[in-house]
Structures are given as C-alpha cells and as structure tokens.
Amino acid sequence: MLVQLASMRDAYAEVLLELGEEDSRVVVVGADTSVSIKTSLFGDRYPDRFFNVGIAEANMMGIAAGLALTGKIPFVTTYAAFVPGKCLDQIRNAIAYPNLNVKIVSSHGGLTVGPDGASHQTIEDVAAMRAVPRMHVIVPADAPSTRSLVAQACRTLGPFYIRLSRPSVPTIYSASKDVEIGKAKILKEGSDVGIVACGIMVNEAMEAAEALSKIGVSAEIVDSHTVKPLDSETIIRVAKKTGALVTAEEQNIIGGLGGAVAEAVTESYPVPVSRIGVRDTFGESGEHKELMAKYGLTSKEITRAAKHLVDSR
Amino acid sequence: MEEQSIPIGMLLQKAAKIRAHILEMVAEAKSGHPGGSLSAVEILVSLFFYKMRHDPKRPDWPDRDRFVLSKGHAAPVLFSTLAEAGYLPTSELKTLRKINSRLQGHPDHRVPGVEFPGGSLGIGLSAAIGMALAGKVDKKDYRVYALLGDGEMDEGETWEAAMAAPKFKLDNLTAIIDRNGIQQDGLTEQIMPMEPVGYKWKAFNWHVLEVDGFDFRQVIDALEKAENMRNRPTVIIAHTVKGKGVSFMEWDPAYHGKAPDKDTVRKLVKTMLEE
C-alpha cells in the first residue's frame, strides 16, 4: 500500500485561510516564523488581520490576550521551541486565567525538528500546558486531523494549545470528520494490550499493532489527540478490556500523555502502564528518523513494551 | 478653553474619597499595596471621571474606552475608583483580599470594569496593544489607556511592547507611567536605573509627555494631546510620589506592600475627608 505523506503545518495554514474566510473575528499573530510555518499565507490574504510582532513571544501572547478581550479569535503561532517556554507567564496570567479565546498553535514540536538540536527540541510543552488550569491541549496525528481539530478549536470557546510536528507524516485519517475534540479515537480494535498515542507516534503505534499481530498479540490503538481534557472514559474502557496500556508520545515521559493516562487509570482502574517517549533527557542534532530511533520513539519500542506487558501477565 | 470646563472641585473630592477607600480597604485586609495605589489616584480620577467614554451600567459596551491596570498590585485604587464610578457598591471594598470575594489581591475579570487581569508585571501594555489593534481592525474610535508602574520598566516585555505599538501606528493607545521612583526593594534608580526615561520612549518612536501626576490640569491636558496625536502612540510620564497623601508613607519603600493599622487609618481618613 502506498503511504501518503502530508505536512501538518500545510494543513494548518490551509484551514486558517478557510477560517479567516468564514469568520472575520479570526486574526493571526506571529513572531518572525510566519514564512516557515506558512501563516504568512493568511497575512497575504488578510493583511489587516495579521500581526507580526517580531522575535518577541511574551509580547505576542499579551497582544493576543488584548485581541481576545475585544472579541477577536487570535491564532498565535510560532515554534514550540519558544512556546510556551518563553511566555508561560503570559499564557497563564493573561490568557488562561481570564479564560480567553486564544488558540496557541506551536509548530516543530518534539525531537523531530531535527538538526537544530536540543535548544529547539521542545519535549516539555505538553506537560507544561497540561498543568495550566482551563487550557485545552491537542496533539494531532496527521494533516487531516490537524485541519479538523484546528477548525473545531476555533469554534470552541476558551484557550487551546495545539502542538504540531515538523516532518510530513503518513496520513491516518481519510476524512477529517473522524476526529472530535475531547473524544479519543479507536483506530483499531484489539484485546491483549491498549496502545494510547498522540501526534506522530500514532503512526508508530499503528505499525506496532501490525508487528504485534504477527506474534499473536492483539493490540487496540487509541489516538488520544486531546491530551487535556483527557477522554478518561475511553481510556478506562480500553484498560478494562485489555488489562495493560502502552502510551506513546513525542514528549518527555514525565507529565505528558503518559502521565495523564497513568493518572486516569491509577484513580479508577489500575493496570500496568508502560510509557514510550523521551526518557527525561535532552535531544541532539540529527535527522528526524535517526533521532526517533536513538531516543526510542519507534514502533519497535512500542512493540517491545507491549510484548513485555503481555508476557509478564 | 478646555481648562474652564474641567470640574476640578469634583475631581478633588473623588480623589479624597478614593484615597480614604484605599487606606480603609488595605487596613481591613491587613495586606495589599497602598503606596503605588495612592500615587495613581489623580491619574485614575482624570480618566474615569473626566476623560474616558464609559458607562458603569454597560461594562461590556463595545465602544467604551478601555483602561488596563498593568501595575496590578495597585488593585485598591482601581477597585475604589470603579466603586466610586458605580461599577460596584463601595460597601464591597472591605472584602478586598478576603476569601470568596471577587476583589482579589490583584484585579481580575470577575469585577465589572476590570478590563485585564494585571498582576504579573510587564504584560499590560502588550494586552493594551491587542485591544488597540482590534479597534483599528474594526474601525472603532475607542481609546485604550494602560497604566504602568515605573518598576515595571525593568521587565523586558515592556520594551517588546514599546517597539510594537509605534510599528502599528497605534494613536488610539496612551500609556501612562506612574513615575513614583520606588519599587519593592528601594529606589528605582538604585535597584535598576532607568533614567533617562523620556529619551528611552522617544528612541522607541513614542510621542512623549511629562506631567505632574497630581495636577489634574496637566494630566488632562496631556490626555487631550495624546488623543490629538496621529499615527503614533503617546506615553505620559506622570511624576508622582509613592504613598501620596499620607505623610509617613511618602517616599518610604516599606509602604510598597505594607498595610497601615486601622486606628491610624481612621485618624487619617477623618483629616482627609475634612480637608
């Protein structure tokens, strides 16, 4: 089967144009990364609703707060290397506390930004944003779901953090109507182990499921694109059905999706949880596939963890 | 011409009442920031009782002028002013900083008339820029005012915002700096020297005005000049005194964040309102 690759930021830039067309309240704020992330396309089409504030992330968030306070729906976009890292205070105090309708979309998240190295490989953002009250945290798996989730976020009142990765990724969703904010999506049914993933690791989870089926392990695959509020109901149901969970994310294993899933099952239906992610270390320069292999963000690691859980029952 | 229509007597009366509220509410709360509240009284009075287009009965009126208190620790002066203007009952002021009150230690969105939750310093001017940009996009003629502390100029974000406002030609934005010369640890010129303040803002392409922040005529005249300036934001450097109106508080950094006791306040307020 031919694997179709598509870029999340292309999908984001395209859906922004559509949202800008259908709702004049949509404005875009950027910080000198607009050409790279392609939000400049919005600026070309709607110059009076596009504000480039230069390399000033704190100011960008404060301005977004002011725009939202006057009824706009600001999409604030730059690299995940700087958001929320350089502006957590502004996000917390000026956006989340007053529950403003600001959509923060960060691109180039995680290790797969590649050769830029550790300074630009943000692996803490999901955990940091999860810890902020009122914040929604979304990590889409592919281009079609990015498009859909961004559009839904635009129509849902309140602050959002949406995290995209840089590489083009295999398309998982045929029709974007398959995803719904707050609802984890069962991509494949299974009975022996549940694999809960988000972002580019969903595709790795799908590949792991194939490898596992060859050795007689039936894995259920869940795309938990909404990391917060977590769809605990679905996660618990999968835990009850399979008795063991593996989580997979392009983030530090501390505080992200793995943390959220472990918290959810621990409170209501404890099962063993094995977390796949960056193991509390900084990254380095390298091509994205090399980095994923070196830091254990692969279908192979997911397969190994799932098999280990099943074997030790 | 303009001067004759300024109701100085009424403004003076409001200022005296607001000073009394500030002292009473901070004493009742046993904590809070009286110094930087007292220094900003005439600025807020000039805005809320003379210059700004606003309606306490319609705090969400889309065409209202907006006031952003970036130096959020001066919440007592904002709450007292809003109460005197009719946004909330003055009897509520004594609930400042108490559990279950909407009058938080720093202002937030629960209080009608509060436009922005200031508190973490450095953000307010950015937020005011966002509001002013929205006004330009919507072709509305409301104005946005942001009150900054002088200590707040230590924050990098203040200068990010200072660079951005002239880029967007925000002549609907006026920043006011409460230049009382004192920050929490001591004199601003000792903690982090910031002079020449006016030249800094000029260098960032702002229209810069300097006034005595306790002189209603000067403050209002500057606000009018700001309104008449085209294509550039204005900053008004208002020279003030921290703790203004209470002799033992004036120029004493200790009263940045310390409440006076109730007995002292009772005597002070009596004298103040008699004057």
Q: Where are the domains of chain A?
A: 5-170, 182-311
The pLDDT score that the predictor gives to residue A94 is: 98
| Domains A5-170 and A182-311 alike in fold | yes
Mean pLDDT in residue range B25-40: 95
Q: Do A71 and B160 touch (CB under 8 A)?
A: no
Q: Looking at the complex, report in whole angstroms how far the Cα of residue B119 sits from the nearest Cα belonging to chain A.
A: 8
Q: How confident is the model at residue B5 (pLDDT cuts 50, 70, 90)?
A: confident
pLDDT at B1 over 60: no
Contact yes or no for B166/B232 (Cβ under 8 A):
yes
Using a CB-CB cut-off of 8 Å, the residues of chain B touching A62 are: 123-127, 129-130, 157, 161
Tokens at A83, concatenated: 């958001």
Q: Looking at the complex, report in whole angstroms how far the Cα of residue B264 sits from the nearest Cα belonging to chain A.
A: 35
Q: Other C-beta atoms within 10 Å of B68: how many?
A: 30
Q: Which residues, other chains included, contact B173 with Cβ-Cβ below 8 Å and sequence gap of 6+? A: B128, B129, B132, B143, B144, B145, B146, B165, B233, B234
Q: Other C-beta atoms within 10 Å of A291: how many?
A: 22
CATH topology of domain A5-170: Rossmann fold (3.40.50)
A3-12, A238-247, B226-235: least confidently modelled range:
A3-12
Is A57 in the active site? yes
CA distances from B150 to B40, B158, B193 (A): 12, 11, 11
Vertex A255: Cα angle to A254 and A261 (nearest 5): 105
Using a CB-CB cut-off of 8 Å, the residues of chain A touching B127 are: 62-63, 65-66, 69, 94
CA distances from B258 to A72, A95, A106, B17, B35 (A): 39, 29, 42, 20, 8
Q: Looking at the complex, report in whole angstroms how far the Cα of residue B251 sits from the nearest Cα belonging to chain A.
A: 30
- Residue A63 has its nearest CB partner, among B116, B130, B156, at B130
Total CB pairs under 8 A between chain A and B: 108
Q: How confident is the model at residue A286 (pLDDT cuts 50, 70, 90)?
A: very high
The pLDDT score that the predictor gives to residue A62 is: 98
- Residue-wise pLDDT for A63-112, tens only, equals 999 999 999 999 999 999 999 999 999 999 999 999 999 999 999 999 99
Interface confidence (ipTM) of the complex: 0.95
Mean pLDDT in residue range A207-221: 98
DSSP state of A3: P
Partners of residue B236 on adjacent β-strands: B176, B209
Q: Which residues, other chains included, contact A235 with Cβ-Cβ below 8 Å and sequence gap of 6+? A: A184, A194, A196, A222, A224, A245, A261, A264, A265
The rounded distance, in Å, linking the Cα atoms of A165 and A225 is 13
Interhelix angle for B75-85 vs B8-29, to 10°? 130
Mean pLDDT in residue range B23-41: 95
The pLDDT score that the predictor gives to residue A176 is: 59
Q: Other C-beta atoms within 10 Å of A5: how many?
A: 11
Q: How confident is the model at residue A2 (pLDDT cuts 50, 70, 90)?
A: low
Q: To the nearest whole percent, how much of chain B has pLDDT over 70? A: 99
Catalytic-labelled residue, pool A57, A204, A250, A301 = A57
Given CB atoms, is B156 within the 8 Å cutoff of chain A?
Answer: yes
Tokens at A74, concatenated: 């600001």
Closest A-chain CA to B165: A53
**Mutation to test the A interface, candidates B133, B141, B168, B173, most A Cβ within 10 Å:** B133
Contact yes or no for A258/A275 (Cβ under 8 A):
yes
CATH topology of domain A182-311: Rossmann fold (3.40.50)
Radius of gyration of chain A (CA): 19
pLDDT at B3 over 70: no
Domains and CATH numbers, chain B: 3-274 (3.40.50.970)
The pLDDT score that the predictor gives to residue B274 is: 83
Helices within A166-214 (DSSP H only): 201-214
Q: Which residues, other chains included, contact A8 with Cβ-Cβ below 8 Å and sequence gap of 6+? A: A107, A140, A142, A143, A146, A164, A165, A169
Tokens at B27, concatenated: 């004493």
In one letter, which amino acid is A18?
Answer: E
Is the pLDDT higher at B257 or at B117?
Answer: B117
